[in-house]
């Protein structure tokens, strides 16, 4: 594990001595602590920590480290996960007709803005194949209809499992996932919703926003759950508009917001900055922000 950075995410009931015991563990094992971020929810008496450490001259295997830390976790009654910087997360992007989020993610990835390995693009249409192939990403066209929805989802899940996908991005994939699909990948599916949730849920929100004469439009990135559009919110963005805005201009503005909001959510997930507690996402800022 020499010269490797790791990030540990922790959540538990708040109690005295947590910081000292956890940081002392890594100090005693010879790790250099690069950052330690904390949040306490006093209303629910819950504690959250993101600790980023580096193994410079540490001669310990991953399995040995995890076993030792698990002993401490059992003593403190904490839930935890450990993430190794050298292990890139494998990503699959799911799309339908709309290209702006797909293109933005692939471009950011090519420029080094998303530290992951994009293994595939999956779509229920063949319309966006050229974009995927332009970036050298395998494209899988798996049509879906009401009579064969479960069969199509099994094909998708087979692809995801074969490639050991860590994160699924719904980049305007305009299909409602079944409870079985979502339940198989908890906290591993990020969806971009083209409105500032919980307002204007469902189809064609911009038309309804236009009809209501809204003054703010936005987008929401969240983890998908079995409750449609009600999963833990990771990031949201809004922009002020006026009565002069048309449905077309609202869509254009909304597309820009969607790109940015989705990219932020994906980046934070890849950098292990998110802890989900019940139906809330605690997002730690990137060190230095």
Sign of CA dihedral 84, 90, 96, 99: positive
Active site residue 278: no
In the DSSP assignment, the letter for residue 135 is T
pLDDT greater than 70 at residue 59? yes
> pLDDT per residue over 159-211, tens digit each?
999 999 999 999 999 999 999 999 999 999 999 988 765 566 566 777 777 77
Task: Tell me the CA distances in angstroms from 183 to 17, 90, 146, 153, 222, one per residue in order.
Answer: 35, 19, 20, 13, 15
Give the number of other Cβ atoms within 10 Å of residue 70's Cβ: 13
**DSSP of 147-196:** TSHHHHHHHHHHHHHHTT-SEEEESS--SPPPHHHHHHSTT-EEEEESSS
Q: What is the fold of 4-84?
A: Alpha-Beta Plaits (3.30.70)
Same CATH fold assignment for domains 4-84 and 89-283: no
Q: What is the mean pLDDT of residues 82-93?
A: 94
| pTM for this prediction | 0.91
Rounded distance between C-alpha atoms, residue 127 and residue 125, angstroms = 6
Of the chain, the percentage scoring pLDDT greater than 90 comes to 75
> pLDDT per residue over 215-269, tens digit each?
788 899 999 999 888 899 999 999 998 888 888 888 899 999 999 999 999 999 9
β-pairing, 189-193 with 167-170? parallel
The mean pLDDT value of the chain amounts to: 91
Q: What is the pLDDT of residue 44?
A: 92
Rounded distance between C-alpha atoms, residue 162 and residue 141, angstroms = 17
* Close Cβ partners of 182 (under 8 Å, ≥ 6 residues apart): 189, 224, 225, 226
Class of 89-283 per CATH? alpha beta
Question: What does the domain layout of the chain look like in residue ranges?
Answer: 4-84, 89-283
> pLDDT per residue over 110-145, tens digit each?
999 999 999 999 999 999 999 999 999 999 999 998
pLDDT greater than 90 at residue 109? yes
Q: What is the mean pLDDT of residues 43-60?
A: 91
Q: What is the pLDDT of residue 117?
A: 97
The single residue of 104, 145, 229, 256 carrying the catalytic annotation is 229
pLDDT greater than 60 at residue 104? yes
Q: What is the pLDDT of residue 289?
A: 47
Q: What is the pLDDT of residue 56?
A: 81
Q: What is the pLDDT of residue 236?
A: 92
């Amino acid at each position: 594990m020499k010269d490797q950075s790791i990030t540990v995410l922790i959540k538990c009931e708040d109690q005295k001595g947590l910081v000292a015991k956890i940081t002392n563990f890594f100090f005693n094992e010879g790790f250099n602590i690069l950052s330690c971020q904390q949040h306490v929810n006093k209303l629910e008496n819950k504690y959250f920590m993101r600790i980023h450490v580096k193994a410079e001259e540490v001669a310990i295997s991953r399995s040995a480290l995890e076993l030792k830390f698990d002993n401490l976790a059992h003593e403190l009654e904490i839930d935890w996960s450990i993430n190794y910087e050298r292990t890139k997360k494998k990503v699959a992007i799911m799309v339908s007709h709309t290209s702006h989020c797909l293109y933005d993610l692939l471009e950011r990835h090519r420029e080094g803005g998303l530290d992951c390995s994009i293994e595939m693009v999956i779509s229920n249409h063949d319309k966006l194949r050229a974009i995927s192939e332009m970036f050298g990403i395998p494209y899988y066209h798996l049509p879906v209809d009401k009579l064969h929805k479960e069969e199509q989802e099994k094909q998708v899940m087979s692809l995801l499992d074969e490639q050991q996908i860590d994160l699924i991005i719904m980049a305007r994939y305009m299909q409602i996932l079944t409870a079985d699909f979502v339940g198989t990948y908890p906290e591993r599916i990020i969806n971009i919703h083209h409105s500032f949730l919980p307002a204007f849920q469902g189809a064609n929100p911009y038309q309804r926003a236009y009809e209501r004469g809204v003054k703010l439009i936005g987008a929401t990135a969240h983890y998908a759950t079995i409750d449609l559009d009600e999963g833990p919110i990771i990031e949201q963005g809004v922009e002020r508009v006026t009565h002069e805005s048309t449905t077309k201009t609202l869509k254009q503005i909304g597309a820009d917001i969607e790109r940015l909001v989705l990219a932020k959510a994906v980046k934070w997930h890849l950098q292990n900055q998110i802890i989900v507690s019940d139906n809330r996402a605690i997002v730690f800022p990137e060190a230095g922000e």
